[in-house]
Structure 1
Amino acid sequence: MDWVERLNEAVRYIEENLTGEIEYEKLGQIACCSAYHFQRMFAYIAGMPLSVYIRRRKMSLAAVDLQGGGAKIIDVAAKYGYASPTAFNRAFQSVHGVNPSSVKNEGAAVKSFPPITIRITVKGVEEMEYRIETRAAFRIVGKSFPLSKEIEQNFLEVPRMWQGAVQDGTLEKILALMDGTPRGVLGVSACSDEETWRYYIAVASSAGTGNALEEYTVPGCTWAVFPGEGTGKSIQELERRIVTEWLPASGYEFACGPDLEVYFEPDPQHTAYEVWLPVRKKQA
């Protein structure tokens, strides 16, 4: 089963469990990656967060259940995993723009969101520079922050983490401890299925942590390393291209390991950086 087939198999799992529990870890297992990497892939390929897609599919089916007036709203809410009618009503209105009770009347307009089918067309319009680098485990020192299991929330929170680290002087303290490689300020997403998800602002270092900082050992891994420059938004665009353009035709797939961002300049408005993606040779 190739990479795209595994993604579509994961979509089928979603469809089969819209009235049950959808385990993000299971989705990762089907796609042969972590839950974290699956959510990132899905968001870049589908153009929407995984949680939004699941909510739209559930509310599409819920609207069909309510049309005709026979089903009770509380029963339909429970069917799709909503513990209270209030939460269900909020989700329903966010998708359809009307409340569930209005759909029970004939003639009410609702929206339909069919299941997606993933197809990847590699256009290759622009070249992508990269290198493959294998490193032994190395130690980093810095400050960590919890990450949400809903990955789209992290796109909002991580920039705030950086801003706070600059304003309270933490980043300056971290920079003074750098004595290893990769050289640069590191953003490390430690998000395997076997650990609590955390994001580290850190440097490679052998120094002590003191009372204010933490240490983490980045496990040995093979990374595909992509250079870039610009702002945080340009990094997200580079990551999107890696997933949708480079990865499908590369002969590699996601491996179990942290993502790294390596920043070579302190200016957040224009900085040179590298995106390190943990990879392994694609399995047959």
Structure 2
Amino acid sequence: MRLDWLKRMMDALDLMEGSMEERLDIEEIAKAAYVSPFHFQRMFFMLTGMTIAEYMRKRRLTLAAQEIASSSVKVIDAALKYGYDSPESFAKAFRKIHGVSPSEARQPGVSLKAYPRISFHLSLKGDKDMDYRIVEKEGFEVVGKSIRLKDGEQPRIAELWAASNQDGTAARLSAFGDGDLLYGVCLDMQPGEGDFTYMVAGRIDASREHVAADAADGLERASIPAATWAIFPSVGPLPGAIQSVFSRIYQEWFPATGYEHAGGPEMEVYPSGDTTAEHYRCEIWVPVVKK
């Protein structure tokens, strides 16, 4: 299974590399990997730390710089070749990556950035089991506070949690009807751009809807659809322990199973307790479908 996954991912990368001078068709790229476009883009981001758009931009500007520095190609021709509508937009993106203008790239000895083609490898350590369970659940409602995040803004999540604990929001949310659990919910994910909404939330017990309606003043509500969830335990102090489990889900679990991401919200489920303790236990919920 893992070797099949590796071959499919490398085939997809071959297609991406062959699309440097044309419009990227994410449907075709994902088809080469035998997964949905959402799953491929989410996997790519979690494995590389870059969106596909960011990776393609860096690769195209690497190739453009090499071509400009080693030939007499016109800047406008290089811009059009690598997908830019105007020399101005090309020059702006070029300077952001390389620190110089396209014309300055022709000067002898100028320093340029090179972003090489990535490759995927599997680490077959086999020295640590990965526990999980598959659970089907009906849809439910959550209520809380959210922020919209762009690629690279993940540190703002810790700030949202700190503010929610400090102003009493977290205590309010844990009282909405789901025991003492709090949820960290990733909503409206746009994997191609890396954008998503993160909500610190409490789950609304349907039998206590009137309580939630009265207590939710100033908070937002969101619907979590019915789904099949792969649920993974995380043991250890936050945020390091749960970040490690997230990495293993995408680096080890998905390649080793017949599942892919279903495209819905992801959730972190936090019981009360000392989140800095070595034995603090929480969970990651990822919506999945069988391929």
Q: TM-score, normalised on structure 2? A: 0.77
Q: Closer, same or farther in 2 for the Cα pair 1:38/1:163, shift >3 Å?
A: farther
| Structure 2 counterpart of 1:54, from 56, 60, 71 | 56
Q: Aligned-residue CA RMSD in angstroms?
A: 3.4
Task: State the AA in 1 paired with 2:203.
Answer: A
- The 5-angstrom pairing of residues 6-45 of structure 1 reads 6-22=8-24, 31=33, 32-33=35-36, 35=38, 37-45=39-47
Deviations along 1:190-227, one digit per CA (max 9) or x if unpaired, are: 2366xx94322212213334431222221121222111
Does structure 2 retain, via aligned residues, the 8 Å contact 1:139–1:218? yes
Task: State the AA in 2 paired with 1:222.
Answer: T
SS for the counterpart of 2:115 is coil
| Structure 1 counterpart of 2:242, from 224, 229, 235 | 235
Does structure 1 retain, via aligned residues, the 8 Å contact 2:164–2:170? yes
SS for the counterpart of 1:45 is helix
* Pair 1:126-2:128 in alignment: yes
Counterpart of 1:200 in structure 2 is 199
How many Å apart are 1:59 and its aligned residue?
A: 1.5
How many Å apart are 1:20 and its aligned residue?
A: 4.5
Task: State the AA in 1 paired with 2:165.
Answer: V
Q: Closer, same or farther in 2 for the Cα pair 1:18/1:244, shift >3 Å?
A: same
Work out the CA distance in 2 between the residues paired with 1:34 and 1:233: 29
How many Å apart are 1:123 and its aligned residue?
A: 2.2
Contiguous gaps of at least 5 residues in structure 1: none
Counterpart of 1:116 in structure 2 is 118
Task: State the AA in 1 paired with 2:172.
Answer: K
Task: State the AA in 2 paired with 1:157.
Answer: R
Counterpart of 2:175 in structure 1 is 176
SS for the counterpart of 1:180 is coil
Instruction: Between 42-51 and 271-280, report the one with greater CA deviation.
Output: 42-51
How many Å apart are 1:58 and its aligned residue?
A: 1.1
SS for the counterpart of 1:127 is coil
Q: Closer, same or farther in 2 for the Cα pair 1:5/1:233, shift >3 Å?
A: same
- The 5-angstrom pairing of residues 253-264 of structure 1 reads 253-264=260-271
Instruction: Between 2-11 and 59-68, report the one with greater CA deviation.
Output: 2-11
SS for the counterpart of 2:172 is helix
* Pair 1:248-2:255 in alignment: yes
Task: State the AA in 1 paired with 2:266.
Answer: D
How many Å apart are 1:57 and its aligned residue?
A: 0.5
Q: Percent identity over the alignment?
A: 35
Contiguous gaps of at least 5 residues in structure 2: none
Q: Closer, same or farther in 2 for the Cα pair 1:4/1:226, shift >3 Å?
A: same
How many Å apart are 1:185 and its aligned residue?
A: 0.6
How many Å apart are 1:254 and its aligned residue?
A: 1.9
Task: State the AA in 1 paired with 2:218.
Answer: A
Task: State the AA in 2 paired with 1:237.
Answer: S
Deviations along 1:5-51, one digit per CA (max 9) or x if unpaired, are: 4433443443344344446677567652453x544422343365545
Deviations along 1:171-195, one digit per CA (max 9) or x if unpaired, are: 2221221x137x61111112366xx
How many Å apart are 1:107 and its aligned residue?
A: 4.8
* Pair 1:145-2:152 in alignment: no
Deviations along 1:231-284, one digit per CA (max 9) or x if unpaired, are: 123322211111112221133222232211001136554443111122222x2x
Counterpart of 2:281 in structure 1 is 272
Task: State the AA in 1 paired with 2:258.
Answer: G
How many Å apart are 1:141 and its aligned residue?
A: 2.0
| Structure 2 counterpart of 1:186, from 175, 183, 194 | 183
